[in-house]
Amino acid sequence: MLHDKIKQYSEEIAAFSPSSSADVENFRLKFLVSKGIVKTLFEEFKEVSTEEKRVLGKVLNEFKQLAEAKFKDAQEQFASAKVDLKNEDDLTLPGQGFSLGSRHPLSLVRKEIVEIFKKLGFIVSEGPEIEDDWHNFSALNFPPEHPARDMQDTFFIKKQDGNDMALRTHTSSVQVRLMEAGQPPFRAIMPGRVYRNEAISARAHCFFHQVEGLYIDENVSFADLKQTLYHFVKELYGDDTKVRFRPSYFPFTEPSAEMDISCTICKGAGCQLCKGSGWVEILGCGMVDPNVLDNCNIDSKKYSGFAFGMGIERVTNLKYEIKDLRLFSENDVNFLAQFESEII
Ligand code: DAH
């Protein structure tokens, strides 16, 4: 019995290879303290027969020496890793800095956009990136075969059951999901990633990010839309930013508009970014088409509302003058480290 134990512990000690001074201390506590294994085995030794004592005495002593030698070695190994302070070491020098991560510029700008709308009572709502035709197109008043579907080059995915799904081409799909799930009032913004089948270049990418906005209640008018977006632009780009609306077309809004702001880079004087016009487009918007409300089981006679959608990359470019869209997805630390760092 005792012989077996000694053998087993000897193997454990031989295999012991500490990776920290805590391991060394644990070794000491296990084997070498007064209630440790070495002492316990010596206690057990007292109980064995005289013949056994003759054999085991030597074995046990060797075991004790093995444990002590291993401990000493281990202790030295970690003692030498300690900082060897010399007289000339200046303890008042500042420590070595380490860099915190920084938020991705798109996350920063999304956060800013969300904060502005939250203060106006908008909630944040999200939806799936793989969508069905209904939520991405049909419910939004894109009839089948309607040329407006070609406005957005879509990636399709075939499901096992043979049905097509799409990678959502816009976050307008989340409007539909939100409205289907309840009844007005709705006041929400919907940030998320969207996909389009485009060749990747400095000015286009096959995925990017949008924020959709939706406000539905009784008596919501185009004036509410304008006032909300004016407020948003001034909060984001400053009070002196000018805003203008141009008539446009989207299947899901009627009337529809695109909103331009005075160029944030040249302040309207004309530069490369605004192609000399002094204005840059920032978002699409309009009054939600009654067909869309009806498709989502909302009474379009009782309720009205507005929607808008903007690209986060675009909003970010207008803030930070980023000329190549590819930078957003290349994870180049030199690029990313330029943006605000934060303890997350
Ligand atoms: N879904 C549009 C796009 O991706 C953007 C948009 C325009 C959204 C007008 C809206 C809107 O809600 O009213 O191009």
Report domain extents, the chain. 2-87, 105-342
Q: What is the pLDDT of residue 102?
A: 83
254 is annotated as contributing to ligand binding: yes
Note the pLDDT of residue 84: 60
d(CA 116, CA 213): 12
Global confidence as pTM: 0.73
At which residue do the structure tokens 């930070």 appear? 320
Give the separation between CA 73 and CA 23, rounded to whole angstroms: 13
Residue 147's pLDDT is what?
A: 73
Q: Is 285 in the pocket of ligand 1 (CB under 6 A)?
A: yes
Second CATH level (architecture) for the domain 105-342: 2-Layer Sandwich (3.30)
- Indicate which residue's Cα is closest to atom 3 of ligand 1: 170
Ligand 1 centre to CA of 266 (Å) is 27
pLDDT tens digits, the chain, 344 residues: what are they?
898 999 999 999 999 999 888 899 999 999 999 999 999 999 999 999 988 888 899 999 999 999 999 999 988 888 765 566 666 677 888 887 777 778 899 999 999 999 999 999 999 999 999 999 999 999 999 988 887 677 678 999 998 898 889 999 999 999 999 999 999 999 999 999 999 999 999 989 999 999 999 999 999 999 999 999 999 999 999 999 999 999 999 999 999 999 999 999 888 888 888 899 999 999 999 999 999 999 999 999 999 999 999 999 999 999 998 989 999 999 998 999 888 765 54
Run of H or E including 198:
none
* Ligand 1 neighbourhood includes 131 CB (under 6 angstroms): no
- Single-letter amino acid, residue 46: K
In angstroms, the Cα distances linking 12 to 31, 250, 285 are 11, 75, 73
Would you give the distance in Å from CA 299 to the centre of its chain?
Answer: 37
Cα Rg of the chain (Å, integer): 35
**pLDDT score at 344:** 46
